[in-house]
Structure 1
Amino acid sequence: MKRGLALIAAAGIALFAIAAAGAKSNDTTISGAGSTFVSPLVSTWTPALGEAFGLNVQYSGVGSGAGIAAITNRQVDFGASDAPLSPDQASACKGCVQIPWALSATSIAYNVPGAPVHLNLDGKTISKIFLGQITNWNDAAIKALNKGANLPDLKITPVFRSDGSGTSYNYTDYLSAVNPEWKSKIGVSTQPAFPAGVGARGSGGVAGVVSRTDGAITYVDVAFALKNHIRFAAVRNAAGKFLFPSLRRITAAAAAFTKVPRDNEMHIVNPSKKAALAYPICTYTYIIVPQQTSHAPELRKMIFWALTQGQRPQFTAKLLFAPLPKPVLVASEKTLKSIHS
């Protein structure tokens, strides 16, 4: 591992030497589309990539499903998804690779006037809300998790993603892990058939509906909840601790899964009780690129920068994106080498 990290560092010196020589004189447009989850982070990276490499990165947060479709049809130079490619998607993309390039958490955001600032929820209760089995905020199951709290007699409105969404994939992956009924009835999907609630497109869409709707609850990347000043719940992990998402707790969740598969597909929801400090709904997000592309040199520079310089707190901390673990960095660097013209 140390040797792999040394190679990353050495490659970084070489890449930045190239950038210094040509960043100002050779502007190149790189287009991408996909995950709304990672969109705030890409927005913080874009000016720095222009300064370092002369890259004009144009990214559209249209949802993971649309991003995968766009790169599959070669309408963009890269796609981004919070869900790994399925076997059928990988085959259709014809030579694409997926590289984990960011790590964060999904929050359970809510708008409940009169509810406690620190609202506790667990996976089973959350799943029953989205199954339409718990319909009021003063339900006994919610009260049991919030002893002494004054919960209002208010209808619950679940809000879900109506578009193909990697956030939906990871959320339903979590609910399937904590509730067998969810697993058998709904399962894991980028576009699940939610039996209750209202749909909205994109992270901004669900955040907006929750902001405007008393009694609403949704799942949304924590960066959007923070941006929209929406409260989010403390979720009980496998160790029995109620935790809000934080950099430390996202890092703890990722640290519980150290083996990186050959295709880089990572599932890190609901870590075991040994990971006592882990927030239970965390996810990697992937950049998806063809192995052979005319923009290979530019994409390699961009992705390498995102994996190294782009992980610095000045870009990530306020958005609650945690640094990538060393095993993931090494695996991503190996995959990055396969991209060529």
Structure 2
Amino acid sequence: MTRHTFFLLAGVLSLSCLIGCGGGASGPSGVGASKSVRLNAGGSTFVNPMMTKWAKTYNEKFGVKVDYSATGSGNGIQQMIAKTIDFGCTDAPLNEEQLAKAKENGGAVLHVPLVMGGLVPAYNLPDVQEPIKFTGPVLADIYLGKIKKWNDPALQSLNPGVKLPDLDIAVVNRSDSSGSTFIWTDYLSKVSPEFAQTVGRGTSVKWPTGIGQKGTEGVAGHVGRSPGALGYVELLYALNQNLKYGSVKNKDGEYVLASLESVTEAAKNAMAEIPDDFRYSLTDVAGKTSYPISGTVWAVLYADQSANPKGRDIVDFLRWVLHDGQELTKELHYARMPPELVQRIDKSLAEVKQK
């Protein structure tokens, strides 16, 4: 064998190994092995536009189909625990009761942070052009039914020079079990002791006032067609439907609008507090430019996938989302996961038991 032939053969063998052995950081780990696979997932409406983009791109690249149903975070958790879907997506980490139920049904649950975003106070005031300023306590009092008018002194004092109308605030909330509701109530519970005591945090709460709408689309749609309405929606939905939304005073006393940058800043400032099980909160995080109502979307799945013939495909897809998939987040106004957090999540994914 000539020296030239030897190196040529070595190069071909190395390339074959990389292709056949899944040497990349993301994507299916075997050639052609996943071509007929269809993953079923569901839950969070927050992540639905992003998941739709990820699923389409992943299918085009690898031939693996990901069917996602935006049924709400609560439903996604329920279906994951019941094993009627391959993985769920939620904007709220599982609570202790849900973890215990999952342990009985299938073992430990892994939380995989996928993407971050901001929840905004969206409103419909056609004659007000300037972004309205809110504080957490004022938002809490609105959702407690204590502030009923847009020109209430508590709101007007935050917005000097802005002529707020003598109009009822039509409060809109989620009627279904929702991770967005968890983020919203988690924030309001942190900044308002009264809200924490009377309403509390959760994916589904008993609202003292307001109109319930199903899904983020329902809330955004109602706000868009109802003058005087105020509701909480993800930034992307507000932008897509041309809804006005306000800035919120953060822990450092700064009024901040939701953006990729301000949500990412919140994540960076929370990094040291993120535990090994990845159940954390991004609301009311310190930092001059941190947006205070930021949240994460998690994929949740059983850590033991050894009895699931699609277990490896689930892990491959989630690993791809955490790497190549993050390049698609900016165009849809989601904030990508910080690289230092991705490294930690990779180690956790590597411990998933696969068939």
TM-score by length of 2: 0.88
Conserved 8 A contact 1:103-1:285: yes
Supply the distance in 2 between the matched residues of 1:247 and 1:12 (Cα, whole angstroms). Answer: 31
Supply the distance in 2 between the matched residues of 1:224 and 1:138 (Cα, whole angstroms). Answer: 26
Give the aligned partner of residue 22 of structure 1: 32
Conserved 8 A contact 1:104-1:282: yes
Distance 1:287 1:14, change over 3 A: closer
Give the aligned partner of residue 285 of structure 1: 297
User: Where in structure 2 are the equivalents of 1:35-54 lying within 5 Å?
Assistant: 35-54=44-63
Distance 1:290 1:153, change over 3 A: same
Give the aligned partner of residue 173 of structure 1: 186
Deviations 1:20-74 (A, max 9, x none): x428x82311010100001110011111110222111100000000001111111
Give the aligned partner of residue 117 of structure 1: 130
- Counterpart of 2:300, as a letter, is I
Q: Secondary structure at the match of 1:62?
A: coil
Distance 1:12 1:88, change over 3 A: farther
Q: Secondary structure at the match of 1:283?
A: strand
Deviations 1:119-138 (A, max 9, x none): 11111111110000000111
Deviation at 1:16, TM superposition (A): 4.6
- Counterpart of 2:50, as a letter, is L
- Counterpart of 1:218, as a letter, is G
Query: Is 2:309 the counterpart of 1:294?
Result: yes
Task: Structure 1 unaligned segments of length 5 or more: list them.
Answer: 1-9
Give the aligned partner of residue 93 of structure 1: 102
Larger radius of gyration: 2
Q: Secondary structure at the match of 1:288?
A: strand
Supply the distance in 2 between the matched residues of 1:118 and 1:55 (Cα, whole angstroms). Answer: 43
Supply the distance in 1 between the matched residues of 2:291 and 2:343 (Cα, whole angstroms). Answer: 24
Task: Structure 2 unaligned segments of length 5 or more: list them.
Answer: 1-20
Give the aligned partner of residue 5 of structure 2: none
Supply the distance in 2 between the matched residues of 1:78 and 1:323 (Cα, whole angstroms). Answer: 20
Match of 2:157 among 138, 144, 147: 144
RMSD over aligned Cα atoms: 1.7
Conserved 8 A contact 2:124-2:243: yes
Deviation at 1:221, TM superposition (A): 1.0
Give the aligned partner of residue 268 of structure 1: 282
Supply the distance in 2 between the matched residues of 1:88 and 1:327 (Cα, whole angstroms). Answer: 30
Deviations 1:281-312 (A, max 9, x none): 00111001122232111111100010011111
Deviations 1:79-101 (A, max 9, x none): 00000001111122232211111
Deviation at 1:224, TM superposition (A): 1.2
Supply the distance in 1 between the matched residues of 2:199 and 2:41 (Cα, whole angstroms). Answer: 31
Supply the distance in 1 between the matched residues of 2:23 and 2:240 (Cα, whole angstroms). Answer: 32
Query: Is 2:239 the counterpart of 1:226?
Result: yes
Deviation at 1:262, TM superposition (A): 2.2
Supply the distance in 1 between the matched residues of 2:92 and 2:67 (Cα, whole angstroms). Answer: 21
Q: Secondary structure at the match of 1:22?
A: coil
Supply the distance in 1 between the matched residues of 2:25 and 2:289 (Cα, whole angstroms). Answer: 38
Distance 1:15 1:157, change over 3 A: closer
TM-score by length of 1: 0.92
Conserved 8 A contact 1:116-1:150: no
Conserved 8 A contact 1:99-1:264: yes
- Counterpart of 2:288, as a letter, is A
Give the aligned partner of residue 57 of structure 1: 66
Supply the distance in 1 between the matched residues of 2:70 and 2:37 (Cα, whole angstroms). Answer: 20
Conserved 8 A contact 1:130-1:194: yes
Conserved 8 A contact 1:66-1:164: yes
- Counterpart of 1:333, as a letter, is D
Conserved 8 A contact 1:117-1:231: no
Query: Is 2:75 the counterpart of 1:82?
Result: no
The 10-residue stretch of structure 1 (92-101 or 261-270) with the greater mean CA deviation from structure 2: 92-101
Supply the distance in 2 between the matched residues of 1:285 and 1:153 (Cα, whole angstroms). Answer: 38
Give the aligned partner of residue 7 of structure 1: none
